[in-house]
Structure 1
Amino acid sequence: MKIFSSKQLYEADEVTCNNQNITSVDLMERAGSYIFTWLHQRMQGAQVPVHIFCGIGNNGGDGLVLGRLLIESGYNVKCYIANFTDKRSPCFLTNYSRYKDVTKNWPILMKGAEDFPEIAPQDIIIDALFGIGLNRPPEGWVKDLILHINTQRAFKLSIDIPSGLSAEQAVEDFDAIVKSNHTLTFQAPKLSFFLPETGPYVTFYEAIDIGLDAAYLESQEPLAQLIAKPQAQRFYKQRNKYAHKGNFGHSLIVAGSYGMMGASVLATKATMRIGAGKVTAMVPRSGYSILQSTVPEAMVKTDENEDFITNINYDFEPDAIAVGMGIGNNDETATALKALLKKVLCPIVIDADALNCISKTKTLIKLLPENAILTPHPGELARLVGEWTDDYDKIKKCQEFSATYKVIIIIKGANTITVMGNELYINTTGNPGMATAGSGDVLSGCLSGLLAQGYDPLLASVFGVYLHGSAGNIASQTVGFEAMMASDIINSLGDAFLELFRQEEEAPVAQ
């Protein structure tokens, strides 16, 4: 699913009206009727008071359409207009007039805190104050209104976007955002729904197709693409019945140091579990027995050094390499990494301490192979691309770094984002239980295993992140979030493949 900018969505509205020979008011009526249908199916005529808070722009117009349709169906509706300026959109004015035509209980024009209503916990609040056109944070008594709404225990439904939240800009005032229980967004979700700073304001969302011009939307380069099961299903490569292990590649895992050998174990196991035909783990000499006993399916090569890696030599041509997990920042290890980057010919995943070595020795950045996959955690990312001021600045810095060095960056976290130049791919799988030691090592193994099987580096990144998160979701259903360990993710990778093609009823997306 594509994620569009506000500008693209406004243009889509205009193109839709022209091509379908309808007015903006007609399109607003369509959008409002879809929201009414959604709410009516759930309320089934219940006489619970519905409080609709409208702004004086098009989002407020959507709220007035919904209010009128609810009144016409016999619901108990109370509508409030945040009358903070004399400027009103034409669509708002049209629907304000239509609203007054169907009821004697006209909307209450609020001018300050004295007009804020009392709302019972069993009531419903509809937030239609501001839409995606908001370009500055709400202030004064309007901000106080949002604070008032947020203190209510009633169910809160936002239309298109929680008021006060921008679709694709940093938040200036986090207190001036409606904290909704659910958001019904038009046509496609917004970028802000998936970022660490703004995502918490969109607990659940559903995208409602309001019939915007499909040809126009298809022609647009999106801000980002959302990766869910339908997309992941298309990534999967069906295996040939007559294939052998040589068809699925040989991956080299360069990982581990004294006290950090678990990183090598986890990455090696994940590489095997995700389907690589063969895996060789390269570890310090002290890790030999550990790897042979914990991952008997893998081969093991050891460095001459007992405690850390000083020389990355191999006597075969790997189809993929993953390097960095738990290797430490020793100067000799950094030198070995430099030698590897100079000679590597196959796709490569660079993680953890390898990234720290690169950040520490800036000349190594120029040796990054084209299409290398970098998988930093937040601290490693900051050392690599520089500190950021907000989530959007972080994304911009990653895009610039990716474009400059022609690499892929995976921004790990909730809704992990894969960055390749200006392209963003937002993942929809995963859960808080995956915030545990070793989870990143498992991801690096997943990526190297897919690369070894011949997946393109970008496809391996996006698909690997999806499967990693899906396995985490499956594991959490058995052990819960708190008890999850990285090895649980590995053990669920097989189920993640099976889940790809399991039919299930679509549900709202939880953040």
Structure 2
Amino acid sequence: MKLFSKEQIYEGDKLTTERQNISSTDLMERAGTQIFNWMHLRMQGVQVPIHIFCGIGNNGGDGLVLARHLILDGYNVHIYIVNYSDKRSKDFLINYERIKNVTKKWPLLLNDAEDFPDINPDDIIVDAVFGIGLNRPVADWVKSLFQHIKISKAFTLSIDIPSGLRTDKVPSDEHGVVWAGYTLSFASPKLVFFLPDTAKFTEHWEVLDIGLDRDYLYTTTTEADLIGKSEVLSMYMPRETFSHKGQFGHSLIIGGSYGKIGAVVLASKAALSAGAGLVTSYIPKCGYTVLQAAFPEAMVITDDHEKIISEIRFDIQPTVIGFGVGIGTDDKTMAAFETFLKTNKTSLVIDADGINILSKKTELIELLPKDTVLTPHPKELERLLGPWKNDFDKLEKAKVFSKAHNVILVIKGANSITVYQDKLYVNTSGNPGLATGGSGDVLTGIITGLISQGYNPLIATVFGVYLHGKSADIAIEDYGYQSLIASHVIDYLGAAYLDLFKQPEQPIQENK
């Protein structure tokens, strides 16, 4: 799913009215009607007070359309106009006049905190104050209104975006943003719904189709794409009946140090479970027995050093190399990595201390092969990019880094984001159970195993991040968040693959 910018949404609105020969007021009517349909389907006429707070722009106009339909259907509606400016949009004024034709109870004008209505926790609030076009600071009294809404604890539904939240900026004052229980977003969700600094302002979101021009939606390229099952299903490469292991590549996992051999076990298992034909683990001597016993399917090469990787020499020809899990940053290990990079031409996936080594010796970044995949956790990412001011600054730094060094960067989080050049791929799978030691090692192995099979590094990364999260989503049904461990994610990888082809269950129809 594409995540359209506000500028693209405005362009889509404009083209829609031109190509469909409708007015902007007609398009607003569609939007408000869709919100009404969504609410009516769930409320079915339940008589609970509905407080609709309308701004004086087009978002407020959407709220007025909704209010009119709710009133006509017999709902208990209270309308408030948040009078933050003397200017009104044309379509707002048209729908303000239409409201007068369906109710004798005119909207209440709010000018300051003295005008705020009483709201009970069992009431419903619709937030239609500001839309995506907000470009000014929120007045103090309007901030007070937003806090009044929040303190009420009433269910709050925002139209398109929580009021006060910008599409491209982190709020400087969170009191100036509505905290929504649900947001109905037009055409596509907003990128801010998925960033740590701003996702908190809406607990849930849903996209409403308001009939924007299909050709525009299909052909417009966006900065960010939302990745779910339908997106990764098109990436999946099925296997032929007469396939053999030689067709699915040879993954080499280089890592481990004394006390951290488990990281290599996890990454190696994940690579094979993701579909690599062969997996070899390159480890210090101390890990030989552990790895052979824990993962008999892997082949093992050991370094001459007992406890660390001191040199990297092998006589196999791997398809892809996963480097860094549990490897440490000993001087000898760093020197071995540098020597290896100077001659290596094989695709790389680098994680953990591999990234820390690059942060310590930044000149090594220039030796990375094109499309190397880097999978840092937040602190490793900060060491690599430097500190950032907020999530948008972080994304900008990541894009600059990716373009400068021609690498693929995974920003791990609740919605992990794969960054390549100027493009963002926002993942939708995964859950808090992944906040456990070793889950990053598993992700490294999954991506390595996918590249091994012939997926290009970008597709392997986007697909791998999704499978990693989906496996955890399935696993928590048995283990819950707290008891999920990294090896469970590997155990459920097969279920994550199978889920790609699972049809959603149809509701049981009751015979009449």
Q: TM-score, normalised to structure 2's length?
A: 0.98
Structure 2 counterpart SS, 1:472: helix
1:457 equivalent in structure 2 = 457
AA in 1 matched with 2:66: L
1:492 aligns with 2:496: no
Q: Which moved more, 1:392-401 or 1:496-505?
A: 496-505
Map 1:264-279 onto structure 2 (within 5 A).
264-279=264-279
Alpha-carbon distance, 1:44 to partner: 0.5
2:467 equivalent in structure 1 = 467
**What is the alpha-carbon distance in structure 2 between the residues aligned to residue 488 and residue 79 of structure 1?**
51
Judging changes above 3 Å, is the alpha-carbon distance between structure 1 residues 136 and 111 closer, same or farther for their aligned structure 2 residues? same
Map 1:219-238 onto structure 2 (within 5 A).
219-238=219-238
2:196 equivalent in structure 1 = 196
AA in 2 matched with 1:494: G
**What is the alpha-carbon distance in structure 2 between the residues aligned to residue 263 and residue 316 of structure 1?**
22
Structure 2 counterpart SS, 1:280: strand
**What is the alpha-carbon distance in structure 1 between the residues aligned to residue 376 and residue 506 of structure 2?**
32
1:38 equivalent in structure 2 = 38
Map 1:325-474 onto structure 2 (within 5 A).
325-474=325-474
AA in 1 matched with 2:19: N
2:285 equivalent in structure 1 = 285
2:262 equivalent in structure 1 = 262
1:320 equivalent in structure 2 = 320
Is the 1:349–1:448 contact (alpha carbons within 8 Å) kept by the matching residues of 2? yes
AA in 2 matched with 1:251: S
5+ residue gaps in structure 1?
Answer: none
AA in 2 matched with 1:331: D
Structure 2 counterpart SS, 1:236: coil
Is the 1:251–1:280 contact (alpha carbons within 8 Å) kept by the matching residues of 2? yes
Alpha-carbon distance, 1:181 to partner: 0.9
**What is the alpha-carbon distance in structure 1 between the residues aligned to residue 171 and residue 344 of structure 2?**
43
Structure 2 counterpart SS, 1:109: strand
AA in 2 matched with 1:437: G
Question: For each residue in 1:354-379, what CA deviation from the matched residue of structure 2 results, as whole angstroms up to 9, or x when unmatched?
Answer: 11111101211111111000001111
Question: For each residue in 1:225-244, what CA deviation from the matched residue of structure 2 results, as whole angstroms up to 9, or x when unmatched?
Answer: 01111011111111111111
- Report runs of 4+ in structure 1 exceeding 3 Å deviation: none
Alpha-carbon distance, 1:217 to partner: 2.4
**What is the alpha-carbon distance in structure 1 between the residues aligned to residue 342 and residue 506 of structure 2?**
48
Is the 1:124–1:154 contact (alpha carbons within 8 Å) kept by the matching residues of 2? yes
Alpha-carbon distance, 1:209 to partner: 1.1
2:159 equivalent in structure 1 = 159
Is the 1:137–1:173 contact (alpha carbons within 8 Å) kept by the matching residues of 2? no
Calculate the aligned-residue CA RMSD, in Å.
1.1
Aligned-pair identity (%): 54
**What is the alpha-carbon distance in structure 1 between the residues aligned to residue 225 and residue 84 of structure 2?**
37
1:214 aligns with 2:214: yes
Structure 1 counterpart SS, 2:448: helix
**What is the alpha-carbon distance in structure 1 between the residues aligned to residue 136 and residue 292 of structure 2?**
59
**What is the alpha-carbon distance in structure 2 between the residues aligned to residue 223 and residue 342 of structure 1?**
34
5+ residue gaps in structure 2?
Answer: 508-512
Is the 1:437–1:485 contact (alpha carbons within 8 Å) kept by the matching residues of 2? yes
Is the 1:255–1:325 contact (alpha carbons within 8 Å) kept by the matching residues of 2? yes
Q: How many residues align?
A: 507
**What is the alpha-carbon distance in structure 1 between the residues aligned to residue 401 and residue 64 of structure 2?**
46
Is the 2:252–2:280 contact (alpha carbons within 8 Å) kept by the matching residues of 1? yes
Is the 1:414–1:430 contact (alpha carbons within 8 Å) kept by the matching residues of 2? yes
Is the 2:433–2:476 contact (alpha carbons within 8 Å) kept by the matching residues of 1? yes
Alpha-carbon distance, 1:506 to partner: 10
Is the 1:125–1:154 contact (alpha carbons within 8 Å) kept by the matching residues of 2? yes
Alpha-carbon distance, 1:223 to partner: 2.0
**What is the alpha-carbon distance in structure 2 between the residues aligned to residue 457 and residue 179 of structure 1?**
38
**What is the alpha-carbon distance in structure 2 between the residues aligned to residue 342 and residue 501 of structure 1?**
43
Q: Which moved more, 1:444-453 or 1:147-156?
A: 147-156
**What is the alpha-carbon distance in structure 2 between the residues aligned to residue 137 and residue 2 of structure 1?**
29
Is the 1:137–1:172 contact (alpha carbons within 8 Å) kept by the matching residues of 2? no
Alpha-carbon distance, 1:170 to partner: 2.1
**What is the alpha-carbon distance in structure 1 between the residues aligned to residue 196 and residue 215 of structure 2?**
32
Is the 2:346–2:369 contact (alpha carbons within 8 Å) kept by the matching residues of 1? no
Q: TM-score, normalised to structure 1's length?
A: 0.98
1:7 equivalent in structure 2 = 7
AA in 1 matched with 2:289: S
Structure 2 counterpart SS, 1:425: strand
Question: For each residue in 1:270-329, what CA deviation from the matched residue of structure 2 results, as whole angstroms up to 9, or x when unmatched?
Answer: 111111111000000000001000000000100000110011111111011100011001
**What is the alpha-carbon distance in structure 1 between the residues aligned to residue 152 and residue 265 of structure 2?**
50
**What is the alpha-carbon distance in structure 1 between the residues aligned to residue 498 and residue 136 of structure 2?**
46
